[in-house]
Structure 1
């Protein structure tokens, strides 16, 4: 009989028969209705209409290709305007006046979404006799770096390249403060222009009327090419970011300078 029982048990296992359950199966617990349902994550903006325009929360115009809600896609790392240290700001103004820059202090700018400047200044002459055209709105720190670069490297380089009487009459800027994302994108990180930290130089005009347009000049063997490469290289001594026409397509017609603060004083220059 014992052999017959083993044969029967083996037959049941081999045929895949279901053995009876040992004991009752506990009933499934009902879902806890008091547990809050997590809110759905908002979808990132997908409107990439390059012809779209809009305004910031304060009513300022936005550049074409950038909507006010596009910046919602940016991680909210900095949503408040950085407050200027009063002592550092006053010291900066004093240094700028010592260099002979002409500027006016403006009211606090807050365009929402992190765009704005706590203590903006409007610069019309970066050095005596050297205009900023058109006049530009920026932080004092940005203006001071631009004034020192012009006085200590750009102006002397112009004399070497174009003659001892050469003098810079104007720095022609393409962008100072503007509420936008980097490279005028519809998504991505906020631009340093939107914080007053950046200035774009499109060309330099000498007092004799000669204008040096910023353009790709890596292979330009003239003194004009050497001048542009020299002032670009030395700019990294004054600014923490320097982008030239060799950087990417977005910078083929200007030099981008900014004073963003990075860890350990790191600078990005290319």
Structure 2
């Protein structure tokens, strides 16, 4: 009977709009089942969510990842950020002397010049100014570079370019001049305003614009992948053989910056890797 009376009073209270007593035990909420409670979704930045952020499996949202600002001097793979420039690298005297002896034995005409240090990593510790690569083969205009670069250029010219010219244009053909577009110059790669320093700025590179033959005819470097003439065959032959002497060879087919010359350099890479294209 007491239970029936209580139920009657409760029903009357609800129907009449009366409030329930405020005193008494407070209901305890049911504990959440582990794994079912959704994680609040942080504010997202507009655009594509950052790579590597963990997706919330329940909501599908991807939380914002705060980017850490690079500290001064930190290196980055982005070429648009200037690299940390190192001082001009010193060359051992005995190695330089040995190189000069080899270059002289090939008959090149050159002059030892004073150390170059133009700042920002540009310079050559022991530069040489080359006026002739081989006997009777001039370098025009004369170029300043490391001895190791001049030696690679002389060997490539003697062992590859000269025989290729004779094979393509006749046994009596000789190369009178190798016309260069750039040797040492303090600049970034491809003359960019930001990015990595060029190998030209270390004296490690030379750009070849053309070859002038003994009869006065000039073979210009230009796109020749589809050139079925002997001029095209000659250029492709000297380009392919260049990788035997240089660690980098870029021809007119490599990119827009090398449409009218061959870029040759002697940069050192791990495990003797060479980049030729």
2:201 is equivalent to residue 201 of structure 1: no
Q: Which residue of 2 aligns with 1:10?
A: 27
**Do residues 233 (structure 1) and 250 (structure 2) align?**
no
Bigger RCO of structures 1 and 2 (CA < 8 A, at least 6 apart): 1
Aligned-pair CA distance for 1:7: 5.7
* SS of residue matched to 2:25: helix
Q: For residue 106 of structure 2, what is the aligned residue in structure 1? A: 99
Q: Which has the larger radius of gyration?
A: 2
The corresponding residue for 1:113 is 120
Residue correspondences, number: 214
Q: Per-residue CA shift, 1:95-146, capped at 9, x if unaligned?
A: 0000000000000000001000000000000000000000000000000000
The root-mean-square deviation of aligned C-alpha atoms, in Å, is 2.4
Q: Which residue of 1 aligns with 2:262?
A: 255
Equivalent-residue separation in structure 2 for 1:213 and 1:249 (angstroms): 16
- The yes-or-no answer on 1:160 pairing with 2:167 is yes
| Partner in structure 1 of residue 38 of structure 2 | none
1:176 aligned onto 2:183: yes
TM-score (norm 2): 0.73
Match of 1:187 in 2: 194
1:75 to 77, 80, 83: 83
How far apart, CA to CA, are the structure 1 residues paired with 2:240 and 2:148?
20
Q: Does 1:127 align with 2:134?
A: yes
* Distance in structure 1 (CA, Å) of the matches to 2:23 and 2:132: 104
- The secondary structure found in structure 1 opposite 2:212 is strand
Distance 1:218 1:6, change over 3 A: farther
Q: Structure 1 regions of 5+ residues with no counterpart? A: 15-38, 44-70
- CA separation in 2, counterparts of 1:129 and 1:260? 28
Which TM-score applies when normalising by structure 1?
Answer: 0.75
The residue aligned with 2:39 is none
SS of equivalent residue, structure 2 residue 219: strand
Please say if residues 144 and 203 of structure 2, whose CA atoms lie closer than 8 Å, have aligned partners that are also in contact: yes
